[in-house]
C-alpha cells in the first residue's frame, strides 16, 4: 500500500476546506513557521498536533497521516483519490457545493467537452491517415 505524505494530505485538506494556512495556524495554535514546515514536508507533526489539525480540517487523522482510508470518519464518508492535485480537490469541492441541477449542468458540459475532444482526435487520426495515403 502506497502511503501519501502528510504534507500532500495537508495541502489537499486545506484546499478542500478552502482554508488558508494562517487560519489553520490560529485555530490550532501552531506557529506559522512550524505549519509551513509541515506543509512543505520538511517535518511531520507529532500525533497531538496531527490530531489538532485533523479536527480543525474535519478529516480523519489516519487519512491526514497519509494512509489509504476515508477522508472523514464522521457522517458520510468520502474518499479522495491520492493522486488529485490541490486544484482538482478544489474543483471537486466546488462541484459538491452545487445542488442536483447544478451538478447535472456541469456533467452535461463535461460530456459535451469530451465529445468535442474525442471528435478532434478522430479528425486528427483521419487526417494523418489521409496524408499517408496521398504520399
- Structure-block grid coordinates of residue 75: 457522517
pLDDT band at 32 (very low <50, low <70, confident <90, very high): very high
Eight-class DSSP state of 67? -
d(CA 69, CA 43): 22
Q: Say if CB 110 and CB 116 are below 8 A apart.
A: no
Mean pLDDT, rounded, for 28-46: 95
Closest CA to 64 of 17, 26, 20: 17
Q: Which residues contact 96 (CB under 8 A, 6 or more apart)?
A: none
52-61 pLDDT per residue, tens: 999 999 998 9
Sole residue written with cell 511531520? 44
If we measure between CA atoms, which residue out of 58, 51, 12 comes closest to residue 30? Answer: 51
Q: Which three cell numbers stand for residue 6?
A: 502528510
pLDDT score of 103: 81
Amino acid at each position: 500500500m502506497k502511503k501519501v505524505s502528510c504534507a500532500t494530505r495537508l495541502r489537499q485538506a486545506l484546499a478542500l476546506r478552502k482554508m488558508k494556512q494562517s487560519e489553520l495556524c490560529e485555530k490550532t495554535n501552531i506557529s506559522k513557521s512550524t505549519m509551513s514546515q509541515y506543509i512543505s514536508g520538511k517535518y511531520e507533526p507529532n500525533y497531538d498536533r496531527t490530531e489538532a489539525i485533523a479536527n480543525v480540517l474535519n478529516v480523519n487523522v489516519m487519512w491526514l497521516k497519509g494512509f489509504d482510508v476515508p477522508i472523514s470518519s464522521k457522517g458520510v464518508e468520502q474518499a479522495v483519490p491520492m493522486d488529485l492535485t490541490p486544484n482538482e480537490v478544489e474543483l471537486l469541492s466546488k462541484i459538491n457545493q452545487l445542488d442536483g441541477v447544478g451538478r447535472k449542468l456541469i456533467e452535461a458540459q463535461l460530456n459535451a467537452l469530451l465529445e468535442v475532444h474525442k471528435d478532434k482526435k478522430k479528425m486528427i487520426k483521419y487526417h494523418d491517415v489521409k496524408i499517408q495515403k496521398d504520399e
